[in-house]
Amino acid sequence: MTVSSGCPGTIQAGARSGVTNAADARRAFDNRAAIDSVGSLQAKDLEITRDGNAVVIAFAYRKEIPLFTGVGLYLDFAANSRD
């Protein structure tokens, strides 16, 4: 899994693109992710909900980095299109 700083911007752009349902949101994410070279997420990883008339796109994942025997580093990433 490659950590990408473009993920939050990609979901923001997808939510602003006028999507009205989950399938459109996933398609918009795939198109934008290809442009932004997002490798850490796929459209199937997104949580897509409605907040009134707006579509809210969110993701969360953990990156585990082993340092040495018995010790590792955990990085939690999360964002949504409302923030």
Tally of domains within the chain: 1
pLDDT at 11: 61
Position 27 in a domain: yes
Position 20 in a domain: yes
Sign (positive/negative) of CA torsion 24, 15, 74, 5?
positive
The token duo for 25 is: 């949101």
Cα–Cα distance, 59 to 80 (Å, whole number): 6
Query: Which stretches of the chain drop beneath a pLDDT of 70?
Result: 1-17, 83
Cα–Cα distance, 14 to 18 (Å, whole number): 8
Please report the beta strands in the chain, taking only residues with DSSP state E, as ranges in sequence order: 47-51, 54-68, 71-80
Position 1 in a domain: no
Q: What residue has token string 């796929």?
A: 42
Range of the domain at 32: 7-80
